[in-house]
Amino acid sequence: MDNSIRIPLNLPDVRVLELSKTERGDWLIKIDSTLQGTTCHKCGHEITDLHCHDQALRIRHLPLFEVPVYLEIRPKRYRCGYCDDHPTTTQRLEWHEPRSPNTKAYEHWLLRILINSTVSDVARKLGVSEDVVSGTIDRWIACQVDWSEYLDLQVIGIDEISLKRGHRDFVVLITIPTTGGVDILAVLADRKQQTVANFLQSIPLHLRQTIERVCTDMYQGFVSAVREQLPQTKIVIDRFHVAKAYRNGADTVRKREVKRLRQELPKQDYDSIKGAMWAFRKRPENLQESEQQLLERVFAYSPEMKQAYKLREELTQIFEGRYTKNGAKCAIRAWCKRVLKSDIKDFESFLTTVNNWMDEMTNYFLEGWTSGFVEGFNNRVKVLKRRCYGIFDIERLFQRISLDLNGYQTFALT
């Protein structure tokens, strides 16, 4: 019984001359171009005067049943009759990039495998060098944004991540939300105000004018750069950063009071309130009955912890309420007055934050604007960074982020 099949090569403008196997057991397919002529690299005219065939090129193609496949072709060279010195030009075929050791189909396949993986891992899987994988990345993925792909921006997010442990070597990520998630606009080498301002100034004017809001954290360098280059936009301090600040104040009260109770209470009484940290950090509606009872015991020993917990939840309710911007300002100011009357000093730092950033904080209430897309995206980049054991070149980081975000769409089979 015949157990062989015929498989189309799916490469345009070629014909198969011979099929054989190499000494290593790889498939070797000798092919020839069916196209006649090319374009002169000097004058741009179409030329058809065949000069010669170049030396044979061996190009890697998609594997067949996990067996490597190579194509061997002798490219045609054509002489130009329009130029005085009659230069020759090598014919280019649409399925191959000049100076690439692979077909385009193979490189697109390689890049799909590289999504959410590492260069070294893909190199081992495919039996190629890491330079081959890196070269493929450089051929197909730009190191910076292509502004022609955007009609408008509307919203951008600015945030930083540390490339090394200990919060060192910060880079800044500029992102925009999309219907499918997030897109990356830039990876900046540092978080200096001038660096951010220079990037914002580099955005084409017609796109700059479409930016309606910028979501960022409470870092003055970012805010000052935006005010300088995008004076028409509204700056939104995300409620995530605001919540982190006031929740830290409440948590400071908890730590101080727990330390006091450990010293003052009999061991048996103190043991009855152990493990209150996680219950204290939860919202009241998320507490289990046992956690509610635990908090009640803790609050009986520490009214100040109870007051801090209550104040924290009151501010959370404000941010979850349907306030106008002015209404939110009034509600937050009233909350600040209650904090001052409580004599809890641990919220003083947050009260200063409110005083400095009230306008940007309450921009959240205009349309529920948030930079949640920035925070979620940053976590994804941190996973990429850990997976690759650190990427310290900002251009390579931009490429890898772009691949993970858009690779399946850009290098799809069809």
Close Cβ partners of 272 (under 8 Å, ≥ 6 residues apart)? 297
Q: What does DSSP say about strands 67-73 and 76-79: parallel, antiparallel, or unpaired? A: unpaired
**Is 109 within the bounds of a domain?**
no
**Is 123 within the bounds of a domain?**
no
379 pLDDT above the threshold of 80: no
248 pLDDT above the threshold of 90: yes
167 vs 123: which has the higher pLDDT: 123
Q: Which long-range contacts (CB under 8 A, 24 or more apart) does 62-66 make?
A: 62/103, 62/105, 62/106, 62/109, 64/7, 64/27
pTM here is: 0.82
Strand partners, 28: 20, 70
- The owner of tokens 């099949």 is 5
373 pLDDT above the threshold of 90: no
- The owner of tokens 């039996």 is 127
Residues 327 and 181 in one domain: no
**Is 260 within the bounds of a domain?**
yes
Residues 312 and 214 in one domain: no
Average pLDDT over residues 30-56: 95
Q: What does DSSP say about strands 168-178 and 181-188: parallel, antiparallel, or unpaired? A: antiparallel
CA 137 to CA 398: how far, in whole Å? 11
Each residue of 303-339: pLDDT tens digit?
Answer: 999 999 999 999 999 998 989 999 999 999 999 999 9
Its domain, for residue 228, covers 147-238+370-410
Q: How many domains does the chain have?
A: 3
Looking at residue 11, what is its pLDDT? 94
Residues 246 and 352 in one domain: yes
Query: What is the average pLDDT value for the chain, to the nearest integer?
Result: 91
Each residue of 173-204: pLDDT tens digit?
Answer: 999 988 878 899 999 999 999 999 999 999 99
Each residue of 259-299: pLDDT tens digit?
Answer: 999 999 999 999 999 888 999 999 999 999 999 999 999 99
347 with 249: CB under 8 angstroms?
yes
Close Cβ partners of 50 (under 8 Å, ≥ 6 residues apart)? 76, 77, 78, 79
Distances (CA, A) of 90 to 15, 56, 79, 159: 18, 13, 9, 48
**Is 118 within the bounds of a domain?**
no
In this structure, the number of other CB atoms found within 10 A of the CB of residue 37 comes to 13
